[in-house]
């Protein structure tokens, strides 16, 4: 086989390589546009709900009223997780990382799934919706079990976002908190061929089961270069004790050549369109809670980063202060990301399986060639 010409080699990390076709979401990094199935994220953030977005991502169009009601009812029926999976979570050692717990729980869920031995198209679609319903429940259950509390069963009267906050805290959230959570779930639901989505598609392309593909996605999301940035933002906001300290803190960070989490993006060259909504929600929820501490620090950090380095906030920056004010523990920020991204992951798995070909790229070999085998006694 001829050597690949240097100019044909993909850049490191497969940057700028189109690795496949998808009709689910699109990004224009120059103009700062994100769209799900062609619908601008700003419209979805202002007018839609997570349930609608699940239908849109899975099925390709917005649901009719009847379809939305049907999906809401199905999500309500499927939200509870089997007792065997709760036992698996209870059996994990104290101090298990919440993403490790979530990944383990989803893998176990595959064994308990009523369609475990059926991978035909109708069963796949049922599993995609069921997993989407259950992921938020698992996040709440893993938090309660690690603190020795009993899980709070889902309330069929509540929507998906409100149910998550209810199952996590045991208290029904205010309408404003439920709406803020709902919009955050809408904003994180899909983002093209990001690393975890691509991992899910690779696993699915082998015709592994959906739970296996989502387990691969969760393993990939755990890494700090992907899902973990919002946690790091929270640590920064805690280190910046007062808004007045922000400017100096940022200057020191840049002087020490440290990356400031929650800023910059591999694709967007403008403000991340998701950050626009998360900033507003973070402010509204802080004002409603009468606690602007983390919002005020965030605003000052953002202004300093913009002034000193011209970098824009990304999706992770204002989600940190928002989640904190909603009462979500910092180490659950990445699991909450998964509770939203499950909609996109499952949509991508369904799309992959709808027209499957094994994903199997080639590597460019850079090791030695024609090396003779040296017998053990001569090494
Ligand atoms: N803090 C400090 N400097 C940053 C930065 C940040 N958050 N983001 C980018 N830069 C710097 C880069 O180091 C680079 O500097 P250089 O020209 O001196 O090498 C310059 O700004 C341009 O970087 P760019 O090419 O636009 O970004 P990238 O593709 O190299 O990196 C990220 C993209 C997301 C990995 C990077 O912005 C980052 O690490 N951000 C923080 C982590 C984060 O928030 N991740 C979540 C992303 S949604």
Options 58, 265, 277, 348, the catalytic residue: 265
Residue 298 CB less than 6 A away from ligand 1: no
Confidence of residue 322 (pLDDT cuts 50, 70, 90): very high
226 an active-site residue? no
Confidence of residue 226 (pLDDT cuts 50, 70, 90): confident
Residue 263 CB less than 6 A away from ligand 1: yes
Q: Let me know: does 186 contact 161? Beta carbons within 8 Å.
A: no
Q: pLDDT by residue (tens digit) across 363-372?
A: 999 999 999 9
Q: How far is the CA of 298 from the centre of ligand 1 (A)?
A: 18
For residue 230, the tally of other CB atoms under 10 A from its CB is 27
Q: How far is CA 181 from CA 41, 114, 131, 308, 313, in A?
A: 16, 29, 19, 32, 19
316 an active-site residue? yes
Q: Write a three-state SS string for 220-275.
A: HHCCCCCCCHHHHHHHHHHHCCCHHHHHHHHHHHHHCCCCCCCECCCCCCCCCHHH
Q: pLDDT by residue (tens digit) across 88-112?
A: 999 999 999 999 999 999 999 999 9
Options 182, 188, 316, 348, the catalytic residue: 316
Residue 36 CB less than 6 A away from ligand 1: no
Mean pLDDT, to the nearest integer, of 297-316? 96
Strand ranges of the sheet holding 25-28, from the earlier edge strand across to the other edge = 25-28, 33-36, 39-40
Q: pLDDT by residue (tens digit) across 128-139?
A: 999 999 999 999
Which pLDDT belongs to residue 253?
A: 96
Confidence of residue 353 (pLDDT cuts 50, 70, 90): very high
Please tell me the pTM assigned to this model.
0.94
Residue 320 has pLDDT above 60, yes or no: yes
Q: How far is CA 183 from CA 38, 264, 276, 278, 280, in A?
A: 18, 22, 12, 8, 11
Q: How far is CA 372 from CA 3, 364, 366, 369, in A?
A: 22, 21, 17, 9
What mean pLDDT value characterizes the chain?
95
Nearest CA to ligand 1 atom 16: 257
Confidence of residue 9 (pLDDT cuts 50, 70, 90): low
Residue 17 has pLDDT above 70, yes or no: yes
Residue 247 has pLDDT above 80, yes or no: yes
Largest CA distance in the chain: 76
Residue 351 CB less than 6 A away from ligand 1: no
Q: How far is the CA of 263 from the centre of ligand 1 (A)?
A: 7
Please name which of 326, 338, 329, 318 lies closest in space to residue 237, comparing C-alpha atoms. Answer: 318
């Amino acid at each position: 086989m001829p050597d690949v010409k240097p100019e044909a080699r993909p850049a490191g990390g497969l940057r700028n390589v189109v690795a496949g076709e998808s009709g689910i979401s699109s990004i224009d990094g120059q103009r700062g546009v994100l769209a799900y199935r062609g619908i601008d994220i700003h419209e979805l953030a202002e007018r839609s709900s997570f349930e609608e977005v699940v239908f849109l991502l899975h099925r390709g169009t917005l649901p009719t009223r009847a379809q939305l009601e049907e999906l809401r009812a199905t999500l309500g029926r499927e939200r509870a997780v089997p007792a065997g999976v709760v036992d698996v979570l209870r059996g994990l050692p104290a101090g298990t990382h919440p993403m490790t717990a979530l990944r383990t729980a989803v893998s176990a869920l595959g064994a308990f799934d009523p369609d475990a031995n059926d991978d035909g198209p109708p069963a796949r679609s049922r599993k995609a919706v069921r997993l989407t319903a259950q992921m938020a429940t698992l996040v709440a259950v893993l938090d309660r079990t690690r603190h020795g509390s009993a899980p709070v069963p889902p309330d069929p009267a509540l929507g998906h976002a409100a149910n998550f906050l209810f199952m996590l805290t045991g208290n029904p959230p205010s309408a404003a908190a439920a709406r803020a959570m709902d919009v955050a779930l809408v904003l994180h639901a899909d983002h093209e061929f990001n690393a975890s989505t691509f991992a899910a598609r690779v696993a699915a392309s082998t015709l592994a089961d959906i739970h296996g593909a989502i387990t691969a996605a969760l393993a990939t999301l755990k890494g700090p270069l992907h899902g973990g940035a919002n946690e790091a933002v929270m640590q920064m906001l805690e280190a910046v004790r007062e808004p007045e300290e922000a400017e100096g803190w940022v200057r020191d960070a840049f002087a020490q050549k440290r990356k400031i989490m929650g800023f910059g993006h591999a694709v967007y060259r403008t403000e991340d369109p998701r950050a626009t909504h998360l900033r507003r929600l973070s402010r509204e929820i802080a004002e409603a809670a009468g606690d602007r501490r983390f919002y005020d620090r965030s605003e000052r950090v953002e202004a300093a980063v913009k002034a000193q380095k011209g970098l824009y906030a990304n999706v992770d920056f204002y989600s940190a202060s928002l989640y904190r004010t909603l009462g979500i523990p910092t180490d659950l920020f990445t699991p909450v990301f998964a509770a939203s991204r499950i909609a996109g992951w499952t949509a991508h798995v369904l799309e992959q399986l709808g027209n499957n070909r094994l994903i199997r790229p080639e590597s460019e070999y850079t090791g030695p060639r024609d090396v003779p085998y040296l017998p053990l006694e001569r090494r």
